[in-house]
Structure 1
Amino acid sequence: MDVKDKKAGDTIVVMTELVLPNDTNHFGNLMGGRLMYWMDIAAALSAMKHCNSPVVTASVDHISFENPIRLGNAVHLEAKVTRVFTTSMEVHVRVWGEDAVKQHRYQSNEAFFTFVALDPNGKPQPAPGLIPETPEEQERYKKALYRRQLRLMLSGKLRPEDASELKAIFAI
């Protein structure tokens, strides 16, 4: 397979959903599980767009719940690949709620997802590299290495003493 680097901007996926009664809890707010489901779909589409292959979710970092999204509001999700490591890709997802009646849009959530590119046999395969172009893309690209080392440490796959980039940040 010929793997060519791709631009981060080419991985953007935008989804919009409407919060219906079946999506809400007893307070009339969008349920967290439903939102995570939509976030996972948006992130998976972005990763698939980047690698042109099926992907599986490997991990999800901390999901912040800043503002609730109410029944009848729109949910806007934007996903973009932030960095590629051999077979895995980090994808950032931002979520906004929108009250269409009051014309008010507000940030609600965000998280980082990790996906693994799969070959036709369901085995990990190399993903194309990523070219960050904007200052924001370059900053997320740089910090993705720190987030990856932290994820690997928390999962027991990397010893803290081997997390050289993280150690460099905290070295006195």
Structure 2
Amino acid sequence: MSTNDEPHRPVEARLPQMVFPDHTNHLGTLFGGQALAWMDMAAFIAASRYARRTVVTARSEQVDFKLPIRQGQLVEAIARVVEVGNTSMQVEVELVAEDLLSGERELCTRGRFVMIALDARGRPTTVAALPTA
């Protein structure tokens, strides 16, 4: 339950990255592994900020690569904590590519990550429930 004296818990994190040649394959598009690394980092930041605890990735689920991300585009990883269990957080992550000259943005990749909160001894620990609307 959320109360007025409970600290604010951000549920979203945004992580922009430029796609440089060393991030791409022979077709000039973002390596899938690089996309997953950026998504995992965004999920980590969102879950850490929400839980205010050390977190680790427990699982990545259903990552859909819808459109290629090209060298020279800006990519924004948008991560949102969408569900909270006892010690876990489900984080949805989208990769949105932006053409810096036109400003056109497209959703390219979407996935879900399960993050676990840890205590000082490295053991799973409870996380506050998501606030209700």
Using the size of structure 1 for normalisation, the TM-score is: 0.71
Counterparts of 1:132-143 in structure 2, within 5 Å, are 132-133=132-133
1:96 aligns to what?
Answer: 96
- Which ranges in structure 1 are unaligned for 5 or more consecutive residues? 134-172
SS at match of 2:125: coil
Identical positions, percent: 33
Offset at 1:99?
1.1
2:73 aligns to what?
Answer: 73
CA distance in 1 between partners of 2:55 and 2:25 (Å): 30
RMSD: 1.8
Q: Which runs of 4+ in 1 moved over 2 A?
A: 3-8
**Count of residue pairs brought into register by the alignment:** 130
Offset at 1:94?
1.1
- The structure carrying a bigger helix percent of its residues is 1
Counterparts of 1:126-137 in structure 2, within 5 Å, are 126-133=126-133
Residues 51-92 of structure 1, C-alpha deviations (whole Å, 9 max, x = no match)? 111111011111000011100000011111111110011001
Give 1 or 2 for the bigger CA radius of gyration: 1
1:145 aligns to what?
Answer: none
SS at match of 1:60: strand
Counterparts of 1:1-172 in structure 2, within 5 Å, are 10-133=10-133
- Which ranges in structure 2 are unaligned for 5 or more consecutive residues? none
Higher relative contact order (CA 8 A, sep 6+): 2
Using the size of structure 2 for normalisation, the TM-score is: 0.91
